[in-house]
Structure 1
Amino acid sequence: MDSATSPSAAHDIPPPGGVRSAEGYKRGLSARQIQMIAIGGTIGTGLFLGSGTVISQAGPSIILWYGLSGIAVFLVMRALGEMLVYQPVSGSCAEYAREFLGPFWGYATAWTYWVMWVTTGMAEITAAGQYVQYWFPGFAQWKTALISLAVLFVLNLISVKLFGELEFWFAMVKIAAIVGVLLIGTGVLLIGFSAAGPTASVSHLWADGGVAPHGVWHSMTTLQMVLFAYLGIEILGVTAGEAENPRKTIPRAINSLPLRFGLFYMGSFVVILSVVSWESFRPGTSPFVAVFTKIGIPAAAGIINFVVLTSALSSCNAGGLYSTSRMLRTAGLNGHGPRILARLTSRGVPIFGLVVTAVVMASGLWINVVDPDRAFVFITSVAIGAEILLWSVILITHLRYRLAVRDGRASGSGYRMPGAPYTNWLVLAFFAFVTGLTAWSSESRTALYAVAGWVVILLIGYAVLRRNRTQL
């Protein structure tokens, strides 16, 4: 074993409580890469593929729900951002939960975040295999998934700068697709060219059965799926320990989120639903494919298939491998997991956290091959349930942080969450409402069962940890 990964390396395993002073990461993520990671974190397969199902259920009201959910998620990020400026660490929400809520919450947050992204990563690399079959139908799905995982693993292992560059170009592909729809769709509406011109009109937003054609209540039941589209936005916080000048780049990236939410989600849906009536969409149909096809762009399905493939690989890269390996290292540093997880290579990569994550994700391929339909539903249910739990912990941790600042136990932050503590409670109430809607639907109720089971596992695991360790 060389000095890069030996236990004796000075930067390897800081003493308990020394996470901040000796994280050991290389600050290799530039402002350009941080900005694009922030953009990429707000654009996923939920927008390009899953939104067709939401539109078929909610109609044009989807624009309102994406706006409302975007406000809630932005406030979560402002709460996280305030704490990131206070102390920019890669442990992010797990480290703050440990400090302001107690050891159990640090432990629970780190492992919940890991489970959320490992399960999501399983779904994404399996989906990548399905997307490649569009061009190569004879190539086994599991082979594509395994090759994708192996390539991303090696790239993450080399350096954080290479990871950042990969995410930069992944985000560029997604942005290009959205900008293309916005420009071409707007041209159709203003000039009336193409086969879509004669029927394109903004009146589709209210004239075809109303804004919520199936009723407001039925429309609101899509909020869980809408929130799923924002899953992973908190990855921005995990980059804090490796960002150049994080106290400037992180707030700048967070402050730009409302513009991006408005442009990428609300803006694109305004254009899409004006060019093509919501009545044309069916579950499983990409709205981007529908618009390109209606306009008459050749190979529309192939273009969007490539974009969705890019989104899946981006999700697996940023959330599935990068952020989870950092969160496992935080667990190792704080005594909430095996100490070996805290080790870094000479390049500042948490090698054992990365290996464990990749191995577990690879094992998930077998699950998806055996029963791909039910496995995918279960995986996504676990992911969104865990995400809502994670976002709620961030908001509660922020409340405790503000109390610590008031009592003089923590230093203040120059970047403050607007309207706190009232906005904290409003967003928490919104998440509670969405959770209630989840229970209302038999199809999405799996998420509640999965989260309840995970909480039991966490409690048992923590009890065992306390019994086997003298100090957490």
Structure 2
Amino acid sequence: MEHRELKRELKNRHVQLIAIGGTIGTGLFLGSGAAIEKAGPSILFVYIIIGLAVFFVMRALGELLLSNSGYQSFTDFASDYVGPWAGYVTGWTYWFCWIMTAMADIIAVGLYVRYWFDIPQWVPAIACLVILLSLNLLTVKLFGELEFWFAMIKIITIIALIIIGIVLLVIGFKTETGVVSVRNLWAHGGLFPNGISGFLFSFQMVVFSFVGVELVGVSAAETANPRKNIPSAINKIPVRILLFYVGALFIILCINPWTTLSAENSPFVQVFALVGIPLAAGIINFVVLTSAASAGNSGLFSTSRIMFNLSRNKQGAKSFGKLNKNAVPANALFVSSIVVSLGALLSYAIPDAAFSIVTSISAICFIWVWSIILISHIRYKKYRPNLHKRSTFKAPLTPFINYVVLALFAAILLIMFVSEETRSSLLLTPIWFILVIFTYVIRRIK
């Protein structure tokens, strides 16, 4: 029987846009409103801090992936440098991360479609899931094309916002809330209007805003020229963070005083409506719809590739490691889609709490994945110094910066425990780890 392998069909433009799409999502378009409400203008510092931390994680990921051409994802080097248990737990935890995220995004699609059509939200949610599944079953190149155009929509929207904002700043445009000015950053209670607690409690949502940036690593096995494309995509992350996150939010806070923004609405919608763009709400609703669909698309892609990799490493069912004639892990795609659809129905049953709970759990699990990447890099540098010496893409400031970022992640988990809003999610998450460790032990016994 023919033993098929994943095809390297993702070109440089696909990888670049997957990296951008992975760092612009529902967390920015919707979650930033809640984060601003907590932190005020100091949210800009939170995005810079988490953005820098994620960049160092990605540099560690990049060096590890390129140190061994046999590595197809971070589960491979986690098994090598931390232990087989770490590869197993991290692989299935990453799958769980994206399942939770995809649940929320598919439900969000249903809600966004209801803006135009008065139909039950589960109908467009399931329809979107079926469409994405069908497209993902074809070729990985098609996935790359989908993400390319999804990301382009996000980029155009943010750049349009920044350009309009700069023009308004230059001319001193007057709105219902006052003059568009940099002074709005500190004129309404200062940079830290809610004190240090508001600043700290915003970290969880900002972490969720960055989930998906590591998709560059997941797509490594299907990248045509990983030694060129992966470093290029990773090195551009800081510029993208400054432009798409810090730049966009800086403009928003200059146009609208933070006190006028609401956690219930996207700050992007409010700003476009404020400057008088016709059909602004409808335009941004379309953008956040495509953003949610993009995240759901990324979720199906990443979960299927993780299941495929786990199967090939004998850490999952053998059937998950089979590819269809288009070199796509079809069985893994079907299973992930079924789980996402069940979760979407569950989220629909408890709409008030489901989104907050699943996104918080997702953020916690992503912190685990990012931490394992940093720990793997520490051990790689310690036990394989020759590989590190020959590396053409060395992670900077290691291992010191790895420990600094790990300490930051530990502090964020402590903050989530202190916060009443996220405490329940933090206390629920260990159930997943107990379950996955239990299955690992059972498999080892067999």
Q: Normalised by the shorter chain, which TM-score bucket? A: over 0.9
Other-structure match for 2:313: 334
Please say if 1:64 is aligned against 2:64: no
CA distance in structure 2 between the partners assigned to 1:82 and 1:45 by the alignment = 29
1:376 corresponding residue in structure 2: 355
Q: Which residue does 2:332 correspond to in 1?
A: 353
Shift of 1:140: 1.5
Q: Is the 8 A contact 1:188 1:197 kept in 2?
A: no
Residues 155, 163 of structure 1: 8 Å contact kept: yes
Partners of 2:177 and 2:345 in 1: CA distance:
47
Q: Deviations over 1:6-52 (max 9, x none)?
A: xx2223xxxxxxxxxxxx11111010111111110110011111111
Which stretch of structure 1 is more off in the superposition, 85-94 or 218-227? Answer: 85-94
Decide whether aligned partners of structure 1 residues 347 and 59 sit closer, same or farther in structure 2, where only a CA change above 3 A counts: same
Partner of 1:76: 57
| 2:90 is equivalent to residue 112 of structure 1 | no
Q: Give the CA deviation at 1:413.
A: 2.2
SS in 2 for 1:207: coil
Alpha-carbon contact 1:77-1:234 (below 8 Å) kept: yes
Q: Deviation of residue 294 (structure 1)?
A: 1.5
Q: What's the counterpart of residue 305 of structure 1?
A: 285
In 1, Cα distance between equivalents of 2:110 and 2:104: 10
The amino acid that maps onto 1:94 is: T
On the 8 A contact 1:88/1:246 being kept in 2, the answer is: no
For the residues of structure 2 that align with 1:302 and 1:87, how far apart are their CA atoms? 47
Query: Secondary structure of 1:203's match?
Result: helix
Q: Report the equivalent of 2:429.
A: 451
Residue equivalent to 2:184: 204
Task: Single out whichever of 412-421 and 122-131 deviates more from structure 2.
Answer: 412-421
Mapped partners of 2:183, 2:233: distance in 1: 35
How far off its partner does 1:334 sit?
Answer: 1.1
Moved more, 194-203 or 171-180: 194-203
Tell me what 2:402 maps to: 424
Q: 1:322: which partner in 2? A: 301
Letter in 2 for 1:54: A
Corresponding residue of 2:364:
385
- 1:88–1:241 Cα contact (<8 Å) kept: no
How far off is 1:193 after superposition? 4.4
8 A Cα contact 2:62 2:231, kept in partner: yes
Percent of paired sites with the same residue:
45
Q: What does residue 282 of structure 1 align with? A: 262
Whole-Å Cα distance in 1 between the matches of residues 399 and 45 of structure 2?
Answer: 25
Residue in structure 1 matching 2:8, options 8, 24, 27:
27
Aligned residue type for 2:404: L
Tell whether the 8 Å contact from 1:332 to 1:341 is kept in structure 2 after alignment.
yes
- Map of 1:53-202 to 2, 5 A cutoff? 53-88=34-69, 91-137=72-118, 139-193=119-173, 195=175, 199-202=179-182
State how far apart, in whole Å, the 2-side matches of 1:467 and 1:326 are.
26
Secondary structure of 1:38's counterpart equals helix
Deviations 1:156-208 (A, max 9, x none): 10000011000000000000110011000110000234646961110111121
Structure 1: how far apart are the matches of 2:316 and 2:437?
A: 14
Shift of 1:445: 0.9
Q: What is the CA–CA distance in structure 2 between the aligned matches of 1:228 and 1:9, rounded to whole Å?
A: 41
Correspondent of 2:375 among 388, 396, 419? 396
Gap regions ≥5 residues in structure 1: 1-7, 12-23
Shift of 1:217: 2.6
Pairwise CA distance, 1:411 = 8.0
Of 3, 6, 9, the residue aligned with 1:10 is 3
Deviation at 1:388, TM superposition (A): 0.6
Q: 2:343 aligns with which of 364, 382, 385?
A: 364
Q: Superposed, which structure 2 residues align to 1:245-264 within 5 Å?
A: 245-264=225-244
Match of 1:440 among 414, 418, 438: 418
Aligned length: 446
Cα drift, residue 125 of structure 1: 0.4
Gaps of 5+ in 2: none
CA distance in 2, matches of 1:447, 1:292: 34
The alpha-carbon distance between structure 1 residues 256 and 409, as it changes in their structure 2 partners (threshold 3 A), is closer
Q: Is the 8 A contact 2:65 2:72 kept in 1?
A: no
Aligned to 2:438: 460
Superposed CA deviations along residues 50-104 of structure 1, whole A, max 9, x for unmatched, are 1111111111000011001100000000000111211356741111101111111
CA deviation after TM superposition for structure 1 residue 369, in Å:
2.3
Pick aligned residue for 1:40 from 21, 46, 65 = 21
* CA distance in structure 2 between the aligned counterparts of 1:130 and 1:221, rounded to whole angstroms: 27
What residue identity is the alignment partner of 2:408?
F
| 2:246 corresponds to which of 259, 262, 266 | 266
TM-score after normalising by structure 2: 0.97
Shift of 1:375: 2.0
- Structure 1 contact 90–242 (Cα < 8 Å) conserved: no
> 1-side partners of 2:230 and 2:324: how far apart?
25
Q: Does structure 1 retain, via aligned residues, the 8 Å contact 2:177–2:256?
A: no
* C-alpha separation in 1, matches of 2:411 and 2:161: 33
Aligned amino acid, residue 377 of structure 2: H
Give the partner amino acid of 2:322. R
Q: TM-score, normalised by structure 1?
A: 0.92
CA RMSD of aligned residues (A): 1.5
Distance 1:283-1:168 versus aligned 2 partners, 3 A rule:
same
| CA distance 1:89–1:275, change in 2 (3 Å) | farther
